[in-house]
Amino acid sequence: MEFIFESENLEDYLLELDVVDYSNTIIKEKVEELFNSTQTEVEKAKIAFEFVRDEISHSWDIQSEKVTCRASDVMQYKQGICYAKSNLLAALLRSQGIPTGFCYQRLMLFDTPEKGYSIHALNAVYFKSLNKWVRLDARGNKTGVNAQFSLDEEKLAFSINKDFDEKDYPIIFVKPNHKTIAVLKEHTDTLEMYKHYLPESI
């Protein structure tokens, strides 16, 4: 895929945001635990990705009603849907000076078009040593989902089925999509939100 960049300035992909709050104490503590000065950017990205993928539960997978949004809240409660988990991965990597953006796919919400569609969030990470952007999906693996850290070919959580009107958006955004943040802030029950209120397009 040919990526489209919301900004040509890599510094924009390092910005601290309300929901990417890497100066928060709980994020800083985890940063000190995960990273050290001897690690390369690739090593740091793999560590952060696997931490968010494996140690932060996807709220739907564990059938939790708790809604998280800010990276610090995701860290505190150890759970979130893809919108929230992508905020946390961005916070961890941006804290290390690794440019990280937000990407989206339009997917069937469940297993048929009749059950509706939703926007799925993932991240794109820029590796200066490789001079390339790589998409990573820390959604969390389960049966039928096997996302991996891969620099050569994408190993995302979901592949697109264009026959069912699914879509890969090529844009790497500086900030999370406003619809995804709004839905997290407007709801208090993840399960109801997930079934009925996720945005269908960016």
Q: Is residue 159 situated within a structural domain? A: no
**3-state DSSP assignment of residue 6:** coil
In contact, 78 and 123? CB cutoff 8 Å: no
Q: Is residue 155 situated within a structural domain? A: no
Q: Is residue 160 situated within a structural domain? A: no
SS3 string, 32-49, reads HHHCCCCCCHHHHHHHHH
pLDDT tens-place string over residues 122-175? 999 999 999 999 999 999 999 999 999 999 999 999 999 999 999 999 999 999
pLDDT tens-place string over residues 6-48? 999 999 999 999 999 999 999 999 999 999 999 999 999 999 9
Segments forming the whole domain that contains residue 64: 4-137+166-196
pLDDT of residue 8: 96
Q: Is residue 144 situated within a structural domain? A: no
- Strand-pairing partners, residue 117, are 108
CATH number of the domain bearing residue 74: 3.10.620.30
Q: Is residue 106 situated within a structural domain? A: yes
- Rounded Cα gap, residues 173 and 76, in angstroms: 25
Q: Is residue 157 situated within a structural domain? A: no
Is pLDDT at 110 greater than 90 in this prediction?
Answer: no
Domains: count for the chain? 1
**3-state DSSP assignment of residue 21:** coil
pLDDT of residue 1: 87
DSSP state string for 51-75: HHHHHSEETTTTT------SHHHHH
In contact, 107 and 117? CB cutoff 8 Å: yes
Average pLDDT for residues 96-119, to the nearest whole number? 94
In contact, 202 and 169? CB cutoff 8 Å: yes
Q: Is residue 153 situated within a structural domain? A: no
CA 29 to chain centre: 20
Q: Is residue 64 situated within a structural domain? A: yes
